[in-house]
Structure 1
């Protein structure tokens, strides 16, 4: 099986060209094996590029534990870069594709810089997070997948994100299907640091695009509105562009092909 390994600011994925449906046999157990960092290729998820009847292509995404996910912002950037180098028509750097009945628009800005128009947010503030401790601020929102974000200090040094993730996800009444958990620190005007532990990966990732959107919204709530929020994550830098109503939100950052190879499954 031919695969392509991608990184979107450290959020890494296995990309498969499934336009001819030759990889339809791949189920969750195989995805989990492929993503294993000791016995497989190693990745945060697997992305299938498939044909679409009306749009440029279709995207299917699976987390590292084999579970299907409704969306992935960094994955959307990775598949845009992948499609651009795979599809025959390279007359445009702009793409429109579908994932789980969502229509997503994306654009390659330069060689490795990709911007994605994120799906509409919903359930903003539907769940209160006060019971999980004293924080400078917190927010729940679904930015394509559900996120709980907390403002704290010293994000990159001594904060125990893993314990907070376990604590939040133990509350099955609030989060019966689990939730992604992030901690953020406001570093400067319109600049934050962010760490995320992702549901389905069950570990901290180097970057999470949908978490970056949630953190940008919380930043505007906490320190005033900014049209542009710059975010430092473990894997590099992300940029969120948004309007005051949070109706139009874009995610921008690097997406790079690391290598390609073959593996028996």
Structure 2
């Protein structure tokens, strides 16, 4: 069985998209996801995205990280799917219903919903303050935790520490207090409405951009007066996102691109 796919990326955060709204579905499992995502022997991507029919929205989007585990939300992928559709679209995800609006053929705005700050919304392993958390790792300050479809721990750091993400983030991510895993971000306030951000994604490691992490960092910086106004420009290695939040839902605006299309034999990745 040959299955068609579409390769897309949002600011370098790349996806293999399988549209399974019609035709025979690809028999996915964790091993196949890992094989397809592998950058040497597979197609290569940070996340595998599966589009399915939905009774609650225009479509359902499932997100699988490169390690085979399923994620709940992906802002960059939501923009890509919106541009793939070429119109405004409602998207059912495991993290909730989101809405995306195509601004042109290269950019989209996504309503990511309301951020959640309670310890059991992140979720954490036991009750504690999340603003900031009263624990830390290495020489880092205490992180701020928030759920924006996915769980995030955001550390506000100085510029040199941004470059230590790969050294420090894995120990944070592996801590059992984050019993469902967590996305770890290092953020630096670079101006009145600008953040520099580096992200270690759950199940993917360091990525060039992460949409939900950009939302999380911007919301936390605004909530705690580290930034003075919304919208916020979040600078990541892959490019910039515009995040707007005034206490209600979070709006994320940015680019996405199609890279190429192809097919693969499912027997090669079973």
Q: Name the TM-score, length of structure 1 as normaliser.
A: 0.88
Structure 1 residue aligned with 2:83: 81
Deviations 1:10-36 (A, max 9, x none): 110001110125224122211110100
* Count of aligned pairs: 252
Tell me how far apart the structure 2 counterparts of residues 81 and 104 of structure 1 sit (CA, whole Å): 15
Structure 2 residue aligned with 1:209: 211
Unmatched segments (≥5 aa) in structure 1: 85-92
Structure 2 residue aligned with 1:107: 101
Structure 1 residue aligned with 2:255: 254
CA 261–124 in structure 1, closer or farther in 2 if over 3 Å, else same? same
Select which of 48, 51, 54 maps to 1:49: 51
Tell me how far apart the structure 1 counterparts of residues 19 and 189 of structure 2 sit (CA, whole Å): 40
Structure 2 residue aligned with 1:16: 18
Deviations 1:183-215 (A, max 9, x none): 0111111011100010111x1000001100111
Deviation at 1:54, TM superposition (A): 4.6
Tell me how far apart the structure 2 counterparts of residues 218 and 44 of structure 1 sit (CA, whole Å): 25
Deviation at 1:133, TM superposition (A): 4.9
Is residue 129–residue 140 contact of structure 1 (8 Å, CA) maintained in 2? Answer: no
Partner of 2:79: helix, strand, or coil?
A: helix
Structure 1 residue aligned with 2:150: 145
Deviation at 1:50, TM superposition (A): 1.6
What does 1:177-256 align with in structure 2 at a 5 Å threshold? Answer: 177-201=180-204, 203-220=205-222, 221-243=224-246, 245=247, 247-256=248-257
Q: Name the TM-score, length of structure 2 as normaliser.
A: 0.87
Unmatched segments (≥5 aa) in structure 2: 120-128
CA 54–151 in structure 1, closer or farther in 2 if over 3 Å, else same? closer
